[in-house]
Chain A
Amino acid sequence: MTSERGSRQRRSRRADPANGIDVQGVNKTLRGRQILRDACLVVPRGTVAVMEGDNGAGKTTLVRILSTVVSPDTGRVLVNGYDVMSQALQVRRSIGVSFANERSLYWRINAFQNLELFGKIAGLKKKVIMERAVALVDELHLGRVATGQVSRMSTGQRQRLMVARALLTDPAVILLDEPFRGLDEEGLQTLLELVTSRARAGKTVLIVAPLIDAVTGVADRTYRIEGGTVRVGAPGSGVRPVPELP
């Protein structure tokens, strides 16, 4: 009994959550190719971090590791103070993620029904789900299409719906992988205002995209990932000075 309690306490023990994301020395090889090479990344709570990188640089793999759907080979990854390997369930309770995959939505049901499903899975009450869903749909200008099947939405609308889904649980850490696909200028601005407001409310936001020129204005920190290694600042993108990695 005592040992079971001890084990439960160990599982729920949390490192200093001052950093929403804390990645140290992560390596990952997939299908014989090293994707991440001693990757390090620290994103303090309440900041928006933007990471750019070419195709295949390792951006998406890093987001997947932070989301617990890919395991690191070596290194330590903490999300909201929880370890992705030994405290995966707590990590998943802490995050809201939007993968670069519009097929991750259920296309035969509508936007509200998608949000209801994932809200219920996360343990939210129906009233809370509906209040938040209505607010997010309104903020992301999806009201006109939210009651039709997702299959009838445009790519940009589906992209915004995936962001709405990521924000539905009001997560401590928001991970957005290529959230600007298919967005027009208005959609881009709406999205940026939304994530900035979440960061000001104390949330940690990591945006990953191939080119970050359009979003550096809202970034508190910028990173570039090259050959699986994370570097501070994005050269040639007009990035404001960023603090060095600890």
Chain B
Amino acid sequence: MSVIRIVLAVAKKDFRTALSYRVGFISAIVASFWSLIAFRFISKLVNTGEFAGNGVAYFRYAVVGLLFASILEPAAIGTSASARGEQVQGTLEYMASQPVRRIYLGLSWSAYGLLQSMVLAVIVLLLTIPIGFSVTNVNVPVVVAVVVLSILIFAAVGNAGAALVIVVQQGSVIVAGALSIIGVVSGALFPVSELPSWLQAVSRLSPLTYALDALRSATLANQPPTSYTEDLLVLVGFALVSLPVSAWVLERAFRVAQQRGTLSTF
């Protein structure tokens, strides 16, 4: 399939570029692990709700939320950041002259960041085991389904951000801000039940809420498979709507830039 060919070709280019900056990957591992160490200490202070008397439970809860968010971040923010990078570097216009659909370009911009963040998440996950992280009866198919669906949904968010970059030369900050809000209302670091009721209502609009529910159930709570069904169906619905919409938005953004003659400006 041409989309896979293009995504892999661009990811390979980005990997080669990353290799030319050697310290990037190691510093990313150190930064991610360091933030989790901070949460290990914070977990000792958490003594409320479902975590009362069990700080380690909160640490596990936070590890899943943080690492999952770190995987999704390149899909969302990485896409618009890459689009901006291509724009500033001067390669965007040439890429736009290539015989590919623009949505393939959008998807390819986040590919290397995604692969890198997944490898990094696994390494950091292994590093957290000695300091208290553990899982029980992981439901691997559900974890894979949640990760794949979430990546598709957040890639769509990223494509919308890239569309902003192409039209107004900005977008990463807006996407980063939106992602931060989504993280808070979706329970990345604390249960949604701790939020005010109106924010709990908002959280039901966020796909990350369903993704985290399913992921934690599949890794920490040893839930029966039927408990994931609703979350997975909602995620499928989000993916089916968001991807085609983002493809259309990205194509429109390129057309606007072509009309204005701004593909080569930054």
Docked CA distance A99–B93 (Å): 9
Contacts A106-B13, A120-B6, A149-B20; A30 near B260 (Cβ below 8 A) = yes
Contacts of B255 in A (CB 8 A): 71
Chain B CB within 8 A of A121 CB: yes
Categorize the interface residue count of chain B: 20 to 34
Contacts of A113 in B (CB 8 A): 13, 16
Main secondary structure of the interface of A (DSSP, over half): mixed
Contacts A117-B9, A117-B10, A149-B20; A64 near B99 (Cβ below 8 A) = no
Docked CA distance A243–B2 (Å): 43
Docked CA distance A99–B264 (Å): 10
Docked CA distance A157–B98 (Å): 22
Contacts of B8 in A (CB 8 A): 120
A229 CB, nearest partner CB in chain B, Å: 18
Contacts of B237 in A (CB 8 A): none
Docked CA distance A120–B6 (Å): 7
Docked CA distance A109–B16 (Å): 7
Contacts of A70 in B (CB 8 A): 258, 261, 263
Docked CA distance A137–B148 (Å): 41
**Are A69's CB and B97's CB within 8 A?**
yes
Docked CA distance A116–B6 (Å): 11
Of the candidates A69, A106, A120, A149, the one having the most CB atoms from chain B within 10 angstroms of its own CB is A69
A152 CB, nearest partner CB in chain B, Å: 12
Contacts of B44 in A (CB 8 A): none
Main secondary structure of the interface of B (DSSP, over half): helix
| Chain A 65-76 interface 0/1 with B at a Cβ cutoff of 8 Å (1 = within) | 001111100000
Of the candidates B94, B96, B100, the one having the most CB atoms from chain A within 10 angstroms of its own CB is B94
Contacts of A105 in B (CB 8 A): 91
Interface residues of B in 67-94 (CB under 8 A from A): 89-91, 93-94
Contacts of A30 in B (CB 8 A): 260-261
Chain A CB within 8 A of B204 CB: no
Contacts of A106 in B (CB 8 A): 13, 17, 89, 91
**Are B261's CB and A92's CB within 8 A?**
no
Contacts of A15 in B (CB 8 A): none
Interface residues of A in 76-103 (CB under 8 A from B): 89, 92-93, 95, 97, 99, 101, 103
Contacts of B99 in A (CB 8 A): 89, 92-93, 121-123
Closest to B6 in A: A121
Interface residues of B in 1-26 (CB under 8 A from A): 2, 5-6, 8-10, 12-13, 16-17, 20-21
**Are A122's CB and B2's CB within 8 A?**
no
Cβ-neighbour of B90 out of A95, A103, A120 (below 8 A): A103
Docked CA distance A28–B5 (Å): 35
Cβ-neighbour of B13 out of A28, A64, A104, A117 (below 8 A): A117
| Chain A 109-132 interface 0/1 with B at a Cβ cutoff of 8 Å (1 = within) | 100010011101111000000000
Docked CA distance A194–B236 (Å): 52
**Are A69's CB and B89's CB within 8 A?**
no
Contacts of B260 in A (CB 8 A): 30
Chain B CB within 8 A of A47 CB: no
Q: A92-B98, A107-B89, A113-B13 are in contact. List 6 more A-B contacts (CB 8 A).
A: A64-B261, A104-B90, A108-B20, A117-B9, A118-B98, A121-B9
Which A-B residue pairs are the 10 nearest by beta carbons?
A: A103-B90, A120-B9, A104-B94, A93-B99, A92-B99, A30-B261, A71-B258, A108-B17, A67-B97, A108-B20
Q: List 8 A-B contacts (CB under 8 A).
A: A68-B96, A68-B97, A69-B258, A92-B97, A92-B99, A103-B90, A109-B20, A121-B100
